[in-house]
A = this chain, B = another copy of it.
Amino acid sequence: MFWCGGLPHAKGGVKKTGFLRSPAEGLNASSASTTNPPTFSPSARVEDMAQPAVLTIAGTDSSGGAGIQADLKTFTAHNCYGTSVVTALTAQNTTGVQAVHPSPPEFIEQQLRSVLEDIDVKAMKTGMLYDASSIRAIVKTLKSHYGDKPMPPLVCDPVCVSTSGHALLQPDAVEVMISELFPLASLITPNKSEAELILSCRSLPSSIDNLEEMLTAAKNIVRLGPKAVLVKGGHMTVTAQDVEKVAAKYPDIRVVRDGIYSENMEILQVSEAPPSSQLVVDVLQGASGAVLYLHPRIDSTSTHGTGCTLSAAIICGLSRGHDFAESVRLGTAYTHLGIELAQPVGKGHGPLNHMHSIMQRSVPSPTRDNPHPFTRLLIQSTAGLWKQYVEHEFVKQLGKGTLPRECFLHFIKTTCISGTTHGPTDTTSMIAAKSDNFPAIKAATDTILNVIDEVNSHKTFCAQWGITEEELLATPESPSTTAYGAYILDCGLSGDRAKLVMAVAACLLGYGEVGLWLKKEAAKPGSWVVVDGNPYAKWMDDYGNEHYQAAVKRGLGEFLSATGGFAVSLTQLAETIETIAVADPPSPTRFEEWKMVWTRCAQLEKGFWDMALHLL
Chain A residues with a Cβ under 8 A of chain B: 1-3, 9, 35-43, 45, 48, 50-51, 53, 60, 62-64, 69, 72-73, 76-77, 79, 81-86, 89, 91-95, 98-99, 101, 103-104, 107, 110-115, 117-119, 258, 261-268, 270-272, 275-276, 296, 298, 337, 340-341, 343, 345-348, 351, 353-365, 367-372, 375-377, 379-381, 383, 386-387, 390-391, 433-434, 436, 493-497, 499, 509, 512-513, 516-517, 519-520, 552-553, 555-556, 570-571, 574, 583-592
CB distance from A437 to the nearest CB of B (A): 13
CA distance A380 to B358 in the complex (A): 21
Known contacts A92-B114, A113-B91, A587-B586; is-contact A592 B42 (Cβ 8 Å): yes
Copies in the complex: 2
Q: Is the CB of A348 within 8 A of B118?
A: yes
Distance, CA A63 to CA B140, complexed state (A): 20
10 A-B pairs whose Cβ atoms sit less than 8 Å apart in the complex: A35-B383, A89-B89, A91-B114, A93-B114, A98-B114, A99-B107, A265-B379, A268-B574, A270-B571, A586-B587
A118 touches B89 (CB 8 A): no
* With known contacts A346-B118, A369-B298, A81–B62 Cβ distance under 8 A: no
Contacts of A38 in B (CB 8 A): 377, 380-381
Is the Cβ of A552 less than 8 Å from the Cβ of B271? Answer: yes
Q: How far is the CA of A587 from the CA of B579 in the complex (A)?
A: 14
Asked if A365 contacts B356 (CB within 8 A), the reply is yes
Report the bound CA distance from A271 to B571 in whole Å. 7
Nearest CB on B from A452, distance (A): 24
Cβ-defined contact, B119 with A346, below 8 A: yes
Task: Determine the residue in chain B with the shortest Cβ distance to A387.
Answer: B264
**Beyond A37-B383, A73-B82, 19 extra complex contacts between A and B, CB < 8 Å:** A9-B381, A40-B362, A63-B118, A69-B82, A72-B76, A76-B76, A91-B111, A266-B513, A266-B517, A268-B376, A270-B552, A270-B570, A270-B571, A276-B369, A298-B369, A337-B365, A340-B367, A434-B495, A495-B496
In the bound complex, CA of A312 to CA of B520 (Å): 41
A589: chain B residues at CB < 8 Å are: 42, 583-584
Shortest Cβ gap from A393 to chain B (Å): 16
Bound Cα distance A554, B504 (Å): 43
Most buried by B among A62, A363, A574: A62
Tell me whether A364 and B584 are in contact (CB under 8 A). no
Is A585 within 8 A of B42, CB to CB?
Answer: no
A340: which of B72, B86, B270, B368 is its contact (CB, 8 Å)?
B368
Contact B380 A35 (CB under 8 A): yes
A222 to chain B, nearest CB (A): 29
Q: Are B585 and A587 in contact (CB under 8 A)?
A: yes
Q: By the criterion CB–CB under 8 Å, are B43 and A516 in contact?
A: no
Q: Which residue of B lies closest to A354 (CB)?
A: B76
- Provide the bound-state CA to CA distance between A433 and B362, in Å: 27
Contact B77 A91 (CB under 8 A): no
**A375 contact from B77, B93, B268, B355, Cβ within 8 A:** B268
Docked CA distance A414–B3 (Å): 43
Asked if A516 contacts B346 (CB within 8 A), the reply is no
Q: Are A37 and B337 CB-contacts (below 8 A) given A63-B83, A264-B513?
A: no
Q: A64-B72, A364-B40, A592-B43 are in contact. Are A371 and B272 (CB under 8 A)?
A: yes
Assess the A369–B64 pair: CB atoms within 8 A: no
Would you give the shortest CB distance from A273 to chain B, in whole angstroms?
Answer: 11
Q: A95-B118, A263-B387, A517-B264 are in contact. Are A367 and B381 (CB under 8 A)?
A: no
If A110-B91, A264-B517, A275-B369 touch, does A584 touch B584 (CB 8 Å cutoff)?
Answer: no
For the complex, what is the distance from the CA of A585 to the CA of B363, rounded to whole Å? 14
A361 adjacent to B360 (CB under 8 Å): no
B-chain residues with CB within 8 Å of residue A512 when the two chains form the complex: 267
Complex interface: chain B residues within 8 A of A94 (CB)? 118-119
Q: Considering the complex, give the chain B residue whose CB is closest to the CB of A101.
A: B107
A106 to chain B, nearest CB (A): 9
- Least CB distance from A543 to B in Å reads 11
A379 to B, closest residue via Cβ: B265
Bound-complex Cα distance A8 to B69 (A)? 33
Contact of A62 with B83 at beta-carbon distance under 8 Å, contacts A383-B35, A494-B433, A571-B270 already known: yes
Contact B98–A110 (Cβ < 8 Å)? yes
The CA-CA distance from A103 to B100 in the complex, in Å, is: 12
Q: How far is the CB of A308 from chain B (nearest CB, A)?
A: 13
Measured CB to CB, the closest approach of chain B to A440, in angstroms, equals 12
Given the complex, which residues of B lie within 8 Å of A91, measured CB to CB?
107, 110-111, 113-114
B39 touches A62 (CB 8 A): no
What's the nearest-Cβ distance from chain B to residue A527, in Å? 15
Complexed CA–CA distance, A390 and B267 (Å): 12
Give the residues in chain B near A592, CB-CB below 8 Å.
42-43
Judging by beta carbons under 8 Å apart, are B64 and A84 in contact? yes
In whole angstroms, how far apart are the Cα atoms of A553 and B272 in the complex?
11
Are A380 and B258 in contact, CB atoms less than 8 angstroms apart? yes
| Contact yes or no, B86 A51, CB < 8 A | no
Cα A381 to Cα B42 in complex, Å, equals 12
